[in-house]
Structure 1
Amino acid sequence: MTREKLLLLDFDGTLCLGDDPVLFYADRVDAQLAQRGLGGFFAGTTVREILSGAFAANTLLVPQIRYDAEGIPLTVRSEPTHDDAKAHPVSWPLQDGYQLVQLLARQAGLSDAESGEGFRAARKDLLAHGLEHTDVHAPSGARELVAEVAQRAVVVLVTNSPAEVFAPWLQALGLSGAFDLVINDARKPFGMPAALERARTAGRAGAPERPTDPRRVLSVGDIWRNDLEHVASLGGTTVLIDRFGTGLGEPDHRVEGFDGAAEAVSTWSHSAARV
């Protein structure tokens, strides 16, 4: 029987929890700044220290962010916004720690290409360190939820994480083989339309000519623009995990953590109607 629903799941901040990946990214940015002679930009503190303070205070609006006269962070207005110019624009308002590190990196003088290199290098650093020695973990019950929903819906993982050496991450989280399709290097937000089109034909071997109706799609993620906005625009259902209480976006369900998201996903998977 063809599964008529499609569940899209984000990775970092949704299925992959823990602050160490973002802290390792901050370490790489600090090293890049030092190499460029920009290590003193934040007046005696480091990006890692700024990020650690933000996590402790449960806020992303750190005092080190520099703004223009209209209250917009410096560098944000200068970001190109069309698809080909930039895969990962500096985001504002902020919704996760990665975005904060990227903004600080750009304000301190790194290019987008350099901060992107830092992100990819940090992923390799984590693997070399050993994911088992970090706080990286999947939410409680995630594997069971995915397996249960997969009986009624196609389940696709969509992530900006590079495809290179991604398998160890899924293995460490107990999620190997859990998905009908894994889409890496998705280039969200600009790449989300293409990722959704690809996901809509996943798991439909018996009816590839009939992609899943967008209104029967549920997307779960922690960044409105990246993970949910496009799905919402097509009439799909959205669940936003709003860890920092940003209030951004217009999701159908706004939750603090994965437990709330799991409840919404389970209800949706059992329902014949949009919920």
Structure 2
Amino acid sequence: MQVEKLYIFDLDGTLYEGTDHFDYYAKRLAIDVAEEDKEAFWADYEKSKNGEHVLEVGKAYDVEHDAVLTVDPMTLSVVEAHNWDGTKWPLEKVKDTYKGNLEFDFETIVAIGDGWWLPFACAKHYGVKDCYKRYCETKEYMVTDEFQLDPIPGLREFLLQLKEKTNIVLMTNSDADDVGRLFSELNLKGVFSKVVTSAKKPSLTDHYFNELTKEFGVKPSETVSVGDNFINEIAPALLQEMKAVYISGSSQAMEHDNLVQVKRITDWVESVKI
């Protein structure tokens, strides 16, 4: 693979693996679920993880309408909508409710881009008003001795070698404090040329892509976006004619001339010749 002039990496789900923290987040959220709904909450959460529920990674969730949305990732238009029980909306209702492209605000319309959002959507469905405090508790738990977050073997060395040839940037929705703690856990301090935190992807993905290509003086065609969230990091890159590396355990392959899809970042690392 040709080494390009700018690589933009996601953090969560991209530069570390494991899913135990998602289950911990669900446990914290379950505290706020009404007692009579806890069993149903857990049943739906487990089904969503196993691909047995209408809610799944790759879709979106409309909190106000309690609807699960199938979205065209390249246009962000709603293709289908389902009620929580799986009942499909009539096409006319979809068109009347969702005119134009979706705008994700992280509160009422959320992209289910990774495992963080499955417990969030389940909690919202069962009436939990404030999920953010439980998210913060989970992030704090992730840097305690109770939680084991192991660095990916060889990743630091690979990134430092890549940095010698090109520019590497981290762009994440996590805030600066979270990123600092995770960098310590993952042995990634001092690796990146620039770090963008609280990026509010996908709403501001295009904005930051434009800013970063200007800052580093590169063309979109010389830029690679690496991430595990198709809506947040991959579709916007492809639309700007960037290259992209999509990290996904899905058996469904996404096809595009500028796209490489791998199950884990180590699979991609092993294929890159620096």
Q: TM-score, normalised by structure 1?
A: 0.73
Distance 1:6 1:259 in 2: 19
Q: What's the counterpart of residue 109 of structure 1? A: 127
Cα 1:22–1:231 shift into 2, 3 Å: same
Instruction: Identify which of 34, 45, 66 aligns with 2:85.
Output: 66
Deviations 1:55-94 (A, max 9, x none): 6xxx34448863333399xxxx78x9336x5578323xx5
Number of residue pairs matched by the alignment: 237
1:222/1:243 contact within 8 Å kept: no
1:241/1:254 contact within 8 Å kept: yes
Output aligned runs, 1:36-47, within 5 Å. Answer: 37=34, 39-42=35-38, 44=39, 46-47=41-42
1:249 is displaced (CA, Å) by 7.2
1:120/1:162 contact within 8 Å kept: no
Q: Which structure is higher in strand share?
A: 2
Output aligned runs, 1:113-262, within 5 Å. Answer: 114-127=130-143, 130=144, 132-202=145-215, 204=216, 211-247=217-253, 250=256, 252-262=259-269
1:124 is displaced (CA, Å) by 2.1
Q: What's the counterpart of residue 14 of structure 1? A: 14
Distance 2:270 2:108 in 1: 31
Distance 1:134 1:29 in 2: 18
The gaps in structure 2 that reach 5 residues or longer are 56-83, 92-96
Q: What's the counterpart of residue 208 of structure 1? A: none
Distance 1:141 1:221 in 2: 18
Distance 1:138 1:158 in 2: 19
1:25/1:101 contact within 8 Å kept: yes
1:247 is displaced (CA, Å) by 4.1
2:227/2:247 contact within 8 Å kept: yes
Q: What's the counterpart of residue 103 of structure 2? A: 82
Cα 1:100–1:4 shift into 2, 3 Å: closer
Q: Among all aligned residue pairs of Structure 1 and Structure 2, give the percentage whose two residues are the same amino acid.
A: 19
1:95/1:246 contact within 8 Å kept: no
Distance 1:153 1:69 in 2: 48
Cα 1:95–1:168 shift into 2, 3 Å: closer
Q: Secondary structure at the match of 2:142?
A: helix
Q: Secondary structure at the match of 1:229?
A: helix
Q: TM-score, normalised by structure 2?
A: 0.73
1:95/1:244 contact within 8 Å kept: no
